Amino acid sequence: MELREIKGYVFANESKHDNYGFTHLSHMFKNGHEIATGRQRWVNRTWERYRYQTSMMNAVYNLIEDRRIELTRDFMREHRYGRLTEKRREELESFLETDEELTHWKVVLFELK
């Protein structure tokens, strides 16, 4: 198990091997609580800048996607929209850009790159 700290988050990383390749698993922790996991399957070798980069980024991608889904649901409910038109989608994107938590996850993702 390899630990890596980035922006106050601790990533516990491990590899699992089988006959078809290997998998990198990353568990993301904040204050000792697991908040996300990410995994990346590799067949031959990795193409990462450093070990476990992709699985750690996948954990943050999962947080970003969960937050986008939550905010979209709240936006649709608040405005009583049944479906997203092009104009409403632009309004939603503007709304998402103002969310501090989503912006924070994007900064963490940038640090991983």
Which residues in the chain show pLDDT less than 50?
none
Q: Are 53 and 101 in contact (CB under 8 A)?
A: no
With residue 23 as reference, give the H or E element that holds it.
strand 21-30
Residue appearing with tokens 């940038």: 110
> For residue 90, what are its two tokens?
């632009």
What pLDDT, on the 0 to 100 scale, is given for residue 18?
85
State the pLDDT at residue 73: 92
The answer to whether the CB of 101 falls within 8 A of the CB of 45 is no
Closest CA to 105 of 24, 36, 51: 36
pLDDT of residue 25: 97
pLDDT at 3: 95
